[in-house]
């Protein structure tokens, strides 16, 4: 059946109906042409608004969109691809951060000691030997710091502690050298003058050689009196030591017996405790409170340094950038090392210190046979056995006195 369309009256001349182009309408105002009326449905002329299908605003009516077939469902995310790129991104960030950290740390190392200036050196043995020195340097300290840390204000530099750390395949060994050890000063090359001073058989305390001509004479004296080749040199002063301890948040240690010492400022009770930088410095410097004096002090130094290395190497320090970088910065800023020291060497030294504390190595004092003029005399036979074992990277069988 044909649809009937109701039509209105004829359009007057000069006007147009919908679909008839006709002449242009006059300007808006008087004489505006009559508009078609929609009240009775006139003027639609098969007009479909489109609202019934939602097509006016691009909506989808039944059966899909106005422009084509129904949309295909969105594909599921490719999780394998996403995980792959996430891993690649994280690995890239880790590599870049590691490289940047390496160069940052390497730039902070103070390579100030030239071991090539040491003359008449013994041959290198198996493993690696580090000479670790704690000096009484007050570099960077104010008068208030000196008072707080009970360091005094003496000029120049001396050494309160000296240790040889042997790192090898058969266990690591930490040997303390008492500062009052009686040694023979060998011939040596002056670190400033370059002049070679002949040996005269002069006897001195070991720490006096450091005060006389610094690290190179100290290394030369130890090598000449032991026959052990020193591969690397590491030195830290008072302020740097305290800063490292504070940066790591203190060091946990067990003190067997309480003690006090007005000279170092030590005042400790027995038991487990956490030492801050000031307390740690007092702990490793105290000798007047002990009957064994310097021998007991060297044992305390070994114990504390191993505990410090253990604390630095914990995941809570290494994996926390807010702890790791301050600790690294404090340590590297205050260490003086030899010109051939690498970050790898330094890391090996710290891991070995941690291993000694954890029972994976041996710690002892240099074997002592007696004293002369208040100085400690080394037991030559035991020292020779110890050095032979270290040079051959064998398990140490010698025990030290103290």
Rg of the chain in Å (alpha carbons): 42
Please report the pLDDT score of residue 166 as a whole number. 95
Provide the 8-state DSSP code for 262.
Answer: T
CA–CA gap between residue 21 and residue 17 (Å, rounded)? 8
Residue of 134, 139, 231 whose CA lies nearest to 177: 134
Identify the top-confidence range among 105-109, 118-122, 150-154: 118-122
At residue 6, φ and ψ (nearest 5 deg) are: -80, 130
What is the helix (H) or strand (E) element at residue 266, kind and residue range?
Answer: strand 266-268
Query: Exposed (0-12), middle (13-18) or buried (19+): which is 223, by Cβ within 10 Å?
Result: buried
| CB 344 within 8 Å of CB 338 | no
Structural domains in the chain plus CATH codes: 111-236+361-392 (3.30.420.590), 240-356 (3.40.630.190)
Paired with 156 in beta bridges are none
- The fraction of the chain above a pLDDT of 70, given in percent, is 75
| CB 365 within 8 Å of CB 295 | yes
Query: In this model, does residue 335 exceed pLDDT 60?
Result: yes
Task: Summarize pLDDT for 358-383 with one digit per residue, the tens.
Answer: 677 888 899 999 988 888 999 999 99
What is the helix (H) or strand (E) element at residue 234, kind and residue range?
Answer: strand 232-236
Provide the 8-state DSSP code for 115.
Answer: G
Mean pLDDT of 251-260: 89
| CB 340 within 8 Å of CB 374 | no
Mean pLDDT of 316-335: 76
| CB 114 within 8 Å of CB 138 | no
Task: Summarize pLDDT for 45-81 with one digit per residue, the tens.
Answer: 454 554 455 444 444 545 455 555 677 777 777 788 8
CA–CA gap between residue 289 and residue 258 (Å, rounded)? 10
């Amino acid at each position: 059946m044909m649809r009937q369309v109701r039509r209105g009256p004829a359009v007057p001349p000069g006007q147009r109906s919908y679909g008839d182009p006709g002449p242009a309408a006059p300007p808006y105002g008087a004489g505006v042409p009559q508009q078609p009326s929609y009240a009775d449905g006139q003027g639609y002329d098969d007009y479909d608004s489109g609202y019934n299908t939602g097509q006016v605003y691009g909506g989808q009516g039944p059966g899909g969109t106005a422009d084509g077939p129904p949309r295909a469902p969105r594909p599921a995310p490719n999780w394998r691809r996403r995980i792959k790129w996430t891993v690649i991104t994280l690995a890239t960030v880790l590599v870049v951060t590691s490289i940047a950290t390496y160069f940052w740390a390497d730039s902070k190392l103070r390579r100030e000691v030239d071991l090539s200036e040491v003359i008449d050196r013994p041959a290198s043995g198996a493993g690696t030997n580090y000479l670790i020195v704690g000096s009484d340097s007050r570099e960077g300290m104010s008068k208030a710091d000196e008072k707080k840390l009970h360091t005094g204000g003496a000029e120049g530099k001396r050494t309160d502690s000296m240790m040889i750390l042997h790192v090898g395949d058969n266990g690591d060994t930490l040997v303390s050298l008492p500062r009052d050890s009686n040694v023979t000063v060998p011939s040596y090359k002056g670190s400033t003058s370059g002049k070679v001073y002949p040996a005269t058989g002069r006897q001195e305390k070991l720490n006096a050689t450091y005060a006389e001509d610094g690290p190179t004479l100290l290394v030369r004296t130890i090598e000449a009196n032991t026959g052990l080749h020193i591969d690397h040199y590491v030195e830290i002063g008072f302020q740097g030591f305290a800063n490292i301890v504070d940066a790591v948040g203190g060091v946990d240690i067990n003190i067997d017996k309480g003690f006090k010492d007005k000279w170092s400022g030590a005042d400790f009770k027995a038991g487990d405790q956490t030492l801050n930088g000031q307390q740690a410095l007092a702990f490793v410097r105290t000798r007047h409170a002990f009957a064994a004096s310097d021998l007991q002090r060297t044992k305390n130094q070994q114990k504390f340094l191993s505990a410090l290395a253990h604390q630095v190497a914990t995941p809570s320090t290494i994996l926390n950038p807010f702890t790791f970088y301050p600790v690294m910065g404090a340590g590297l800023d205050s260490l003086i090392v030899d010109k051939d020291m690498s970050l790898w060497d330094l890391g090996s030294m710290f891991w070995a210190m941690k291993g000694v504390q954890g029972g994976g190595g041996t710690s002892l004092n240099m074997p002592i046979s007696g004293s002369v003029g208040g100085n400690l005399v080394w037991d030559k036979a035991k020292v020779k056995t110890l050095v032979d074992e270290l040079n051959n990277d064998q398990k140490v069988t010698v025990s030290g006195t103290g």
